[in-house]
Amino acid sequence: MSYSPTSNPRTNGSKQVNAIAGRLSLRKPQRDSLEILNRITEIISLRKGAERGAALEAIRSEYPSVGDFEREFPSLCFALATGVGKTRLMGAFIAYLHIAHGINNFFVLAPNLTIYNKLIKDFTANTPKYVFKGIAEFSVLHPEVITGDNYESRGALLDDVLRCKINIFNISKITSEVRGGKQMRIRSFKEELGDSYFDYLAKQQDLVMLMDESHRYRATAGMRAINELQPVLGLELTATPFVEGTKGPVAFRNVIYDYPLARAMDDGFVKDPAVVTRRNFIAAGKTPEAIQLMKLEDGVRLHESVKVELETYARETGQLIVKPFVLVIARDTTHAAELMTLIQSDRFFSSRYADKVIQVDSSVKEEETVQLLLNVEKADNPIEIVIHVNMLKEGWDVTNLYTIVPLRAANARTLIEQSIGRGLRLPYGRRTGVVAVDRLNIVAHDRFQEIVDEANNPKSPIRLKALVIDEEVLTRKTTTVVAAPNILGKLGFDTGQSEEAAAFAGATPKPVFTDPEKQRAAQLAYDAIRKLSRQPDLVPDVSYISRPEVQQKLLNEVASQFRPAQLELKGIAPTGPDLAEIIAETAKQVVSSIISIPRISVTPKGEVNAGFRPFTLDLSLMRYAPPEEILWAQFLNRNEGHSIGMSQANFLESRPEDYVVSGLVDFPDVSYDDNSDLLYDLAEQVVRHLESYLQQDDVLRVLQLEQRNIARAVHAQMLDHFWMDDSVEYHLEVKQGFTEIRSSAHTAERQAPLDYRAPPVEKSNMARYLFGGFSKCLTNVVRFQSDTERKLAVILERESDKWFRPAKGQFQMFYRKGSDHLEYMPDFVAETAAEILMLEPKMATQMQDADVLAKKDVAVRWCQTATEYSAKHGGKPWRYALIPHDQIQDNMGLDFLMKRFGY
């Protein structure tokens, strides 16, 4: 049977697009490209010798961006940003053309040896990144992969015309043979074919050509020779749809689909690039050598922090651990050698990276260079710093580049293009929601503002989206606003609000204490209260912190840590604030500023048949440098910045191990009473590890600064050693008497919060606004997802004593969805004179959805346990309400809603 363009009706195309997009889990730009190909097959003829001009006219009528094919055959370019998935798209193109149109012969061109080898591997069955995984038509009869190395031995297989055949060739090899004046080897006569392989391919009536990174060989002799194959269709893929001419870049004229980097970043398909500097950094007065050393050292410190974040995320989610590395871009080979010597010397982190750095430059062939860089991605490869001179080329598809330190002179645009091009790929194929895991760091202290300004230039490569959005969206500017508990502002804590966002974060609570000494004592008291929350037998409810016996414990704790700022002078004893009075007032403010939410977890009934087995921590990737100045990161594709490594103002512990233990017992599945010996054993391991390379003072500073990150890293490993007896029964158990209200961050427009009493003009786009002006809300600002939620807030402001919108992790409630256990965050929590309410407004049409009912069941069970617990200690009962959205109006009473929809 031979190919016929009508053997598969084109009406089958849309059906196959849907099937292939689903089986290959195509992203939207990949699916859009496949749908365009489907449409192209409907409006032009996939027939050898079809009239080229008619095909161009038909395509231009629907896709005016196509000015010319730039080939002697119909050829179209799909320009997709780096990291979006061009190889998978090639697989989708081939599967679609084979299944929907009976095309069996494909010719894939690679620009260099590295990409050539990568394509062979990805198109070969049973390899990790096999592009046809899930395509049923290829499950038994895999496509035959014919390469530039084996085509001479594949003659016996070529007669199987029903089989999909993918020819993969390296264009550079063909080019070199033409330039040498010799006949291309591919044109040599082969007896088993009765022809040359080139002529055999040229005779195929259904040959489709796919060109990877086509900008690399558009003008080569090999490309001109390929025109003689006369394929029925050419499909080009590149992230760079132009070639460099004598007068600058020359854009492709056959681009039919353009998905630039700006859209890829907005859609979350690549890392979020950020330029990093020190807060309040001033370059004036510093020598170039000093700035260079500072950038290198800060890059490595940032790298160490990212390394721990990546390991922690991997352990928490069961993913493979990703080992990040730093790319240092040098001026020239001499400079690269100087940097290599510096990094290997005692002056640079005491030679810690002497055997973890490599230098790659023009003395090494490009293919060999790329292979060295590819090896850096392997988890067992020791290299953590790569020094490179030239701009990195295509084919380097590593996903673990997280920190870039550019040290060469270049304008801001060049720095951006060279820096982010190779570091954007995500190690897990998607963004995780963990900032450090999703961010690409470009350390550029001395070029910070210049790069930020260039990134905000509408002509910048990462701002190309501005060309396709309307003026109103283009001029809209946003910032990150923290919805912080009011108690933090009252006690003078840093809420994490940046200076630029402070004007858009609503009114700041008036500090209870203005004197610095009193404020410091109050903050110590608050930290001590947080600790006592983990002792529900002593403080079962937040109101208990005002009782005399608890006040005395707080006084003892604070007095042991508080030291007046003025030292004793010549026999005159230093005077300090009245700690008892400050503690009493702090407790009063805490009681009025939070809702007493117990932490409830699932534990076995009767004898405890679960726990953590003793083990030795793997701390090889935990390498915190001594804390220095604060780093500041500015995201390049949005006006947003934040600090990295800021102190969390943790309560000072009496011994180093307590920092680790205090952080671990914050996890709901860690019981101090049941695991105290193990916790201190693990804490001691961490402290000994830090002491092995840090001074004692630096150990304490790291433990205080990185307490939460260290605890997360240790807890993630503890989960690998958790055991449980499935034969026992379980019940809900209270682990803390009350929990602090968590902050949440929101990207918002640079405008003052709206008045919650009135709906915004665009109610359909509610999530873009922040609201303020509350008197009973326990956070400074609130974001609503619908106007129904705003109306419920109006009711709560009128009829409750206090309320707030919980952030992720506030309740530790999980519901089952298939085989997953997902966290449930109710929309509102409110306290009245008689009870505490958990409220969930929901679309009336969704009230019986499986997810909604599963959330309701876990919430009702949680409220029942909380009520039983509160009843034993004189607290208020809890109730849950699932309220249809159309029943919430400003004139409704809270009692009425609870009577109708409460459980």
Q: How far apart are CA 815 and CA 796, in angstroms?
A: 27
Residue 639 makes CB contacts below 8 A (sequence gap 6+) with 456, 477, 478, 479
On the question of pLDDT at 629 being above 70, the answer is no
Residue 288 domain-assigned? Answer: yes
On the question of pLDDT at 97 being above 50, the answer is yes
Q: What is the pLDDT of residues 199-242, one digit of tens each?
A: 888 888 999 999 988 777 666 666 777 788 899 999 999 888 88
On the question of pLDDT at 739 being above 80, the answer is yes
**pLDDT at position 418:** 53
pLDDT category of residue 728 using cuts at 50, 70 and 90:
very low
On the question of pLDDT at 568 being above 60, the answer is no
Greatest CA separation for the chain? 109
Residue 714 domain-assigned? Answer: no
**pLDDT at position 763:** 82
Q: How far apart are CA 410 and CA 447, in angstroms?
A: 10
pLDDT category of residue 329 using cuts at 50, 70 and 90:
confident
Mean pLDDT of the chain: 81
**pLDDT at position 649:** 39
Q: Please give the helix or strand (H or E) that residue 655 lies within, else none.
A: none
pLDDT category of residue 630 using cuts at 50, 70 and 90:
low
pLDDT category of residue 604 using cuts at 50, 70 and 90:
very low
Q: How far is CA 826 from CA 572, 731, 782, 868, in A?
A: 56, 22, 14, 20
Q: Work out how many domains the chain is built from and give that number.
A: 3
On the question of pLDDT at 468 being above 50, the answer is no
151 and 62 both lie in a single domain: yes
Long-range Cβ contact pairs of 878-881 (< 8 A, separation 24 or more): 878/835, 878/836, 878/837, 878/838, 879/835, 879/836, 879/837, 879/838, 879/903, 880/826, 880/837, 880/838, 880/839, 880/840, 880/856, 881/837, 881/838, 881/839, 881/840
What is the average pLDDT across 592-605? Answer: 77
Residue 147: phi and psi, rounded to 5, are -120, 175
**Percent of the chain scoring above 90 in pLDDT:** 35
304 and 213 both lie in a single domain: no
Residue pair 151/186 in contact by the 8 Å Cβ criterion: yes
37 and 71 both lie in a single domain: yes
- Least trusted range by pLDDT, from 44-48, 163-167, 806-810, 897-901: 806-810
- Least trusted range by pLDDT, from 281-295, 523-537, 554-568: 554-568
pLDDT category of residue 147 using cuts at 50, 70 and 90:
confident
Residue 23 domain-assigned? Answer: yes
Find, among 273, 589, 315, 217, the residue nearest to 422 by Cα. 273
Residue pair 373/360 in contact by the 8 Å Cβ criterion: yes
305 and 218 both lie in a single domain: no
Residue 544 domain-assigned? Answer: no
Find, among 514, 585, 523, the residue nearest to 557 by Cα. 523
**Percent of the chain scoring above 70 in pLDDT:** 79
Residue 28 makes CB contacts below 8 A (sequence gap 6+) with 267
On the question of pLDDT at 390 being above 70, the answer is no
Residue 516 domain-assigned? Answer: no
Of 192 and 604, more confident: 192
Q: How far apart are CA 66 and CA 46, in angstroms?
A: 18
pLDDT category of residue 174 using cuts at 50, 70 and 90:
low
Question: Which of the listed residues 259, 292, 325 is the one where a domain comes to its end?
Answer: 259
**pLDDT at position 247:** 73
Q: Please give the helix or strand (H or E) that residue 647 lies within, else none.
A: none
Question: How many angstroms separate the first and last alpha carbons of the chain?
Answer: 69
63 and 201 both lie in a single domain: yes
Residue 562 domain-assigned? Answer: no
What is the average pLDDT across 489-497? Answer: 86
**pLDDT at position 201:** 87
Of 789 and 183, more confident: 789
**pLDDT at position 750:** 75
Q: What is the pLDDT of residues 411-425, one digit of tens each?
A: 555 556 555 666 888
Question: Which of the listed residues 454, 474, 494 is the one where a domain comes to its end?
Answer: 474
pLDDT category of residue 721 using cuts at 50, 70 and 90:
confident
**pLDDT at position 473:** 34
Residue 854 domain-assigned? Answer: yes
pLDDT category of residue 835 using cuts at 50, 70 and 90:
very high
pTM: 0.55
Question: Which of the listed residues 217, 242, 259 is the one where a domain comes to its end?
Answer: 259
Name the residue with tokens 């010319």.
68
207 and 296 both lie in a single domain: no
What is the average pLDDT across 611-626? Answer: 88
CATH number of the structural domain spanning residue 339? 3.40.50.300
On the question of pLDDT at 475 being above 50, the answer is no
Q: Please give the helix or strand (H or E) that residue 817 lies within, else none.
A: strand 813-817
Q: How far apart are CA 836 and CA 865, in angstroms?
A: 13
Residue 588 domain-assigned? Answer: no
71 and 133 both lie in a single domain: yes
Q: How far apart are CA 459 and CA 637, in angstroms?
A: 12
Of 863 and 267, more confident: 863
On the question of pLDDT at 688 being above 50, the answer is yes
Q: How far is CA 584 from CA 296, 368, 589, in A?
A: 49, 69, 9
Find, among 185, 253, 245, 188, the residue nearest to 219 by Cα. 245
Highest mean pLDDT among 26-30, 761-765, 813-817: 26-30
Find, among 279, 270, 239, the residue nearest to 257 by Cα. 239
Amino acid symbol at 799: E
Q: How many CB atoms lie within 10 A of CB 192?
A: 11
CATH number of the structural domain spanning residue 787? 3.40.1350
**pLDDT at position 465:** 29
Q: How far apart are CA 295 and CA 628, in angstroms?
A: 13
Q: What is the pLDDT of residues 366-389, one digit of tens each?
A: 566 666 777 887 878 889 999 987
225 and 275 both lie in a single domain: no
Residue 187 makes CB contacts below 8 A (sequence gap 6+) with 196, 197, 198, 199
pLDDT category of residue 198 using cuts at 50, 70 and 90:
confident
87 and 217 both lie in a single domain: yes
Q: How far apart are CA 815 and CA 317, in angstroms?
A: 17
- What is the span of the domain harbouring residue 780? 755-901
243 and 377 both lie in a single domain: no
**pLDDT at position 22:** 85
What is the average pLDDT across 272-301? Answer: 82
Of 461 and 104, more confident: 104
Q: Please give the helix or strand (H or E) that residue 171 lies within, else none.
A: helix 171-179
- Least trusted range by pLDDT, from 539-553, 574-588, 716-730: 716-730
Binning the chain into helix, strand and coil, the percentages to the nearest 5 are 40, 20, 40
297 and 238 both lie in a single domain: no
**pLDDT at position 5:** 38
168 and 205 both lie in a single domain: yes
pLDDT category of residue 823 using cuts at 50, 70 and 90:
confident
pLDDT category of residue 341 using cuts at 50, 70 and 90:
very high
